[in-house]
Amino acid sequence: MAHVLQNVVFPLDRDPDLLPLYADPETWSVIEDEPVRVSNRAHLGNILGRHRARIVAGRRVSLGTYFNAFPASYWQHWTSVRDVRLTVHTSGPATILVYRSNSAGVRQRVATREVTGEATTSFDLSLTQYSDGGWIWFDVVADEKHAVLEGAEWTTEQEPVRTGKASLGITTYNKPDYCMETLRALAASPDALEFVDRIFLVDQGTQLVADQDGFDQVAERLGDTLQVIRQPNLGGSGGFARAMLETLRRPESDFVQLLDDDVRLEPESLRRSIVFGQYATTPVLVGGHMFDLLDRPKLHGWAEVVDEAPFMWRNLYQEKMPHDFGVANLRQSPMLHMRMDADYNGWWMCLIPVETVRKVGLSLPAFIKWDDAEFCLRAGDAGYPTVSMPGVALWHVSWVNKDDTIDWQAYFHARNRIVTAILHSDAPRGGRLIIHSRRVDLKHLMMMQYYPVALRARALRDVLAGPDHLRANLETAMPAARALASEFPETLIHRDPSTVLHSRRGRQVYKRLPKNELDSPSGLRLRWFTLSTLAAHWLHKPHPANIRQPEVEFGKDDALWWRLPGFDSALVSAADGSGKNIYTRDRSKYRRMLRESVRLHAELRRRWPELQRQYREALPELVSPASWQQIFEEKA
C-alpha cells in the first residue's frame, strides 16, 4: 500500500505574493554572486486548482519551491524511509525533469521523461545521499502546446511507526476572526482532517469564536471533531496545557498539534507534520516554520536554538533571517538546503507526541514567552528532540510592527527566561545570563524607558520568591503588569491628530552621518560610553525646558540605545507607527531603579544554586496533569 508523504499543492488564496512558495515559473541568472530574476511569467490564471496548474507552451515551471520540493535530508535523518516514489499526473505534451540538491545547494539532474496525452509518470528515488542536507524536486516543461500538471505526490510503501491521529489545540484570546479562518480551512481540507482526531478550541477571551457569523455552519461541517472549551485567560501556556490535558484522554491520538490563534494555516502542512511524526524512528516534536502574515513570502523562523552562554533564543543563522522568497527562491538559496537542527520550535505550530507529554509533563505555567522553548528543552533532555521541518509552515502576525520588550510583556520575557535557565542551564551561577540581564536594564535606563525596568525588577523579585509564584500569579501577573503602566507617562502613545507634537531641536536624522557614528559602540568605546552616561544621568538633572517640551524627535528605527542617552527628553515614534511616545529623564527614578537592578541581580547570582534546587525539585509537580487539572477546576 502506498502512503502519501507529501502532496504537491497550490495556494488556497489567489495571492500573487504566495506564488514563489509553491511554483517558480521564472528564469533566474546570477550576477555578482546574487540571484537576479530576469523575466517574470507568474500568472495566477495558470493556477487551476488546489493540485492543478497550467504550463504555457514553450515555458518551464519548477516545483523546486518551499512547499513543493521534498525535504529529503530530514526524511533520511529522522526516519527509516529509504525509498520514495514521485508520481506526476499530466495532460498534454511535456518534459518532466527530476532534480536533487546536496547540503551546499548544488543542483543535479537525476531523471528525465517525455510525456504526451494524459500520463501518469513515476520516479523511484532513494534517500541515501542526504545526510547533511538536500531536497528533491521536479520541473515541467511544456512543448508546442500548453500542458497541465494534474497533480503529484511523494509516496512510500513502508508502513509508519505510529498510526494514531493528532488532536489539535488552538488557544485564542479575542482573535475570533483568525480562528474562524482556521476552522474554515480545516473544514475544507479532507486530506488533513483524515489525520485529525479532535480540534480543541480553547477560548480564553471575551470576544467568543462561537459568537461569530458562520460559526454554526463550520461547526456543523466539522461535527464531533470540534470541541470548544471556555476558560479564563491563562495565557498561551494555560491554553496549550488544556489542549495537552484533553489529548491525554484521547486513546485515538498519538499527538497533540499546537496552533496559535492569529495565523493563516496551510492545511497540507498540518498533514505533513503528522505524517512525519508517524514515520519518525523515535518520537520527535515536529515544528512548523513561521511566515509573516502581512508580508507573506517572508520567512521569519526556521531552526531556532537557545545559546547556552547568555541563555537567549535566536535563529540558527540569525544574520540570514528573515528570508524573502519573493527575492530568492529555494533553488537560489544554498543555506536553505542544509539540514538545520533546532533546540525548540515556537508554539505557533508544533506537533508533540502524547508519549512525550506523559513522560515530561505539560506546559510550564508561564502564561506567555519561553513556555515553548522550556518544554522543548525539557523534552530534549528526556530524549525527544525537536525537528524544525521544511515544507511545514503557516503565516503568523510577526513582531515587525511591535516591540514587546518595552510593554507589559517585558515581565514575562525576563522572568520566564531566568526560570528556564534555572531549570536547564549548566552555567555556574547563571553564567553570562545575569550580566546580559543587567545590561538590558542599563540600556532601558539610559533610554529613559523606566516601565520595562520596573517590570523586570518585579520579575526578578518573583523568581527569587521561589517556584510557587508561577501557579499563584498565573491569572493575575498580566493584568498587574498592564496596570503598572499608568505610573509611567512614557507608555502613553499620543495619537490625537488635533495636537501636533514638536521637539525643541527638531527631528534627528542619522542616515546622513558618517558610518562610524551610526554603529553601536564596542570595546573600550562601549565601556567609556556606558560609564560616562551612567555617571551623567546620576549626577545631572534634566534641563527644565526639556521637561516642558521634548528636546528631540526620533523615528523608531533611529531611537537606539546609544543615541537617546545624550538627551534629556525625546519624541519617539511608536513601533506600529500609530503615534509617538515621550521619553523624559527622571533622575530620582533612575537612581532608585539602578540601585534596585544591581541589588537584585547580585542576589540572583548569589542564590542561583539554591534556586536551581528549588525550581528543579518543584518542576514535576508544576507541569503535572494533576496540578493543571486543579488549576482549571479552581478557575472554572
Indicate if the alpha-carbon torsion angle 30, 36, 40, 41 is positive or negative.
Answer: positive
- Show the cell assigned to 214: 458562520
Q: Where are the alpha helices (DSSP H) in 540-586?
A: 544-548
- Show the cell assigned to 595: 540601585
d(CA 470, CA 473): 6
Of 216, 101, 93, 192, give the one whose Cα is nearest residue 144.
93
d(CA 610, CA 7): 52
d(CA 530, CA 585): 16
User: Is 171 within 8 Å of 261 (Cβ atoms)?
Assistant: yes
| DSSP E strand boundaries for 92-180 | 94-101, 107-115, 118-126, 136-142, 147-156, 165-172
Strands 226-230 and 196-203: what pairing?
parallel
Any residues with CB less than 8 A from the CB of 217 and at least 6 apart, and which? none
Distance of CA 172 to the CA centre of its chain: 16
User: Is 361 within 8 Å of 623 (Cβ atoms)?
Assistant: yes
Distance of CA 24 to the CA centre of its chain: 25
Any residues with CB less than 8 A from the CB of 70 and at least 6 apart, and which? 5, 6, 84, 86, 135, 136, 137, 154, 391
Task: Give residue for cell 518543584.
Answer: 618
Partnered with residue 36 across adjacent β-strands are 29
d(CA 458, CA 468): 15
Question: Element (H or E) spanning 615, and its range?
Answer: helix 587-622
- Show the cell assigned to 350: 508544533
> How many CB atoms within 10 Å of residue 599?
12
Q: Which residues are catalytic?
A: 372
d(CA 99, CA 105): 11
d(CA 47, CA 14): 9
